[in-house]
Amino acid sequence: MTRRRVVVTGMGVVAPNGVGLAAYRDALRAGRSGITWHEELARLNFACQIGGAPPLTEDEILEVLPEADYHKMNEAMVYAALAAVECARSAGIDVDLLRGYQETPVAWDTGTFMGCGVGGMDTIFDELMPVMAEAPDQEPGRGTAAMGTSIVPKVMGSSVSVTLGKLLGLGGQTSTNSSACNTGTEAIFEGYKQVVLGYAEAMYVGGAEGSHYGVWSGFDAMRDVLCTRYNEAPERGSQPMGAGACGFVPAGGAAVLRLESLEAALARGAPILCELLSAYVNSGGQRDGGTMTFPNPDGVVRCIRRVLDDAGVAPSEISLINGHLTSTGADPREVESWLRALELPAERLPLIQSTKSMIGHTLGAAGALEAVAAVDQLSRGYVHPSINCEQIHPEIRSIAASVPHALVERPLEHVVKASFGFGDVNGCLLFRRWGGR
């Protein structure tokens, strides 16, 4: 089967440091953090009381979503819906959900892979648990009635993808993947395959995660995983590659990209942002140093190399690495893996950055939000700063010159983006600047 070329024709973002692509871009360029202190986390005596939540109000949401749909959505679904609408519109697809969207025709050649890492914890904590607590006092057969009828779509694994399917009228495969922090990147890989193999002309791909304390609580219980020393200075909390990194900062949000076959994009005169040259996901098998929470370095190296080999791109042609880099003790190991995979000496490592330094770790949405950052930098020719790492971690001082601490305006040719997740799973994407052919 011939591999078809895949391009990115639209993007949408709901991030802790900006809702909407323009706001996100401004924040990234300015090195602006979206991490804040949360009173509720303090009230609940979390060790980590900081996090990244998209600055959204209900009124802003209802400017885009019909109220009846909004009430049937959990947080991740809302974020996913807003990002998807922006993505579709930026790709030149007319979407107006407030004007009877149910009557629009089905897009039979378009589907979605929209990932989610944890899912409807806000629904479980705020709606389901209170009802179950009172269930023993209800009449027989009425124990669950007060939940209403929207609970299942709000807690089922595929809640985010079916949301996009409904709002955008998608007729292709509509599915949710989940691979922990690799989810967003994996979703892009899954959508890429659909277009490459000709099963779809276009795919909406990305990831979403809620920012409810319920999503973050399990990580807080692990103690050494989250950042607990910067409750007084939230914006300094996420320090990927920094000397003071003490754990990741939890966050929520969503990002959606529209992948499209080059032929389809050209045929409809769509705006082409870049080409997705290759993509791959694998696992380290939780062997040889790989565990539930730590990647097998050989798996990481294989994943990155496979993407470069498939595309026929030499390491020296890479302009920028958008790493997974979470602000934990794993950052130096990741940098080592990049050096091994690219077979480059430390002083020749391409620029390497962490978008998480500004948005925290958005879990199932991370790969997608960071892919949007990668594509935006590639298509507009800039490199956003990696903040909070002026003091580089002592174990990776050799690559200090590759870490941008301020905005760099520069044309980029190839940007590689990787994600790694619990369960020793890896994902890697390689984007190329769109040169017009």
Partner 1 sequence: MAFKRKETVIEATDLATITAEEAEKRIIAGVRKYATQEANWSRADANTPFLGHIIGMGIESSNLADITMSIERQFLTRRTRRVPVSPDGSEVRLDEGELGKLRILDGQDALAATPGLAVKMLMDLGHMAPDPAYLGKVVSFAYISVIGEGWKLNEALRKAMGRLEKLSGPEREEALANLRALTAQAKSYEALIADAAALAGQRRKSYEEEKAAHEALESELSMATAKLAGAAGGNDSARIASLRSEEAEIRTRLKMSAAKLRVSAEIASQAGNRSAAEAAKVAEIRGLLQETVRLAESC
Residues that bind partner 1 (CB under 8 A): 38, 40-41, 51, 53-54, 56-58, 61, 66-69, 71, 75, 78, 98, 100, 102, 122, 140, 145-146, 148-150, 210-213, 252
For partner 1, the closer of residues 51 and 323 by Cβ is: 51
For partner 1, the closer of residues 141 and 435 by Cβ is: 141
Q: How far is the CB of 246 from partner 1 (least distance, A)?
A: 21
Pairing label, strands 414-421, 425-433: antiparallel
Q: How far is the CB of 300 from partner 1 (least distance, A)?
A: 33
Q: How far is the CB of 111 from partner 1 (least distance, A)?
A: 23
Angle between helices 297-311 and 331-342 (to 10 degrees): 40
Give the single-character DSSP code of 20: S
Q: How far is the CB of 90 from partner 1 (least distance, A)?
A: 23
Q: How far is the CB of 95 from partner 1 (least distance, A)?
A: 16
For partner 1, the closer of residues 152 and 266 by Cβ is: 152
Q: How far is the CB of 115 from partner 1 (least distance, A)?
A: 19
DSSP-derived secondary structure for 36-104: EE-HHHHHTT-S--EEE-----HHHHHTTS-HHHHTT--HHHHHHHHHHHHHHHHTT----TTTTGGGS
Q: How far is the CB of 14 from partner 1 (least distance, A)?
A: 10
CB count within 10 Å of CB 206 equals 37
Placement of tokens 């193999």 in the chain: 197
Structure tokens at 220: 């807080």
Q: How far is the CB of 360 from partner 1 (least distance, A)?
A: 13
Angstrom distance (rounded) from CA 260 to CA 203: 6
Pairing label, strands 6-15, 274-283: antiparallel
Placement of tokens 């990234």 in the chain: 28
For partner 1, the closer of residues 190 and 209 by Cβ is: 209
Q: How far is the CB of 130 from partner 1 (least distance, A)?
A: 13
For partner 1, the closer of residues 58 and 94 by Cβ is: 58
For partner 1, the closer of residues 66 and 289 by Cβ is: 66
What's the chain's Rg over C-alpha atoms? Answer: 21
CB count within 10 Å of CB 129 equals 11
For partner 1, the closer of residues 162 and 349 by Cβ is: 162
DSSP-derived secondary structure for 375-422: HHHHHHTEE---TT-SSB-GGGGGGGGGS-SS-EE---SEEEEEEEET
For partner 1, the closer of residues 122 and 190 by Cβ is: 122
CB 324 within 8 A of CB 313: no
Structure tokens at 310: 């498939």
Which H or E run contains 111?
strand 110-116
Give the single-character DSSP code of 363: G
For partner 1, the closer of residues 18 and 252 by Cβ is: 252
CB 213 within 8 A of CB 46: yes
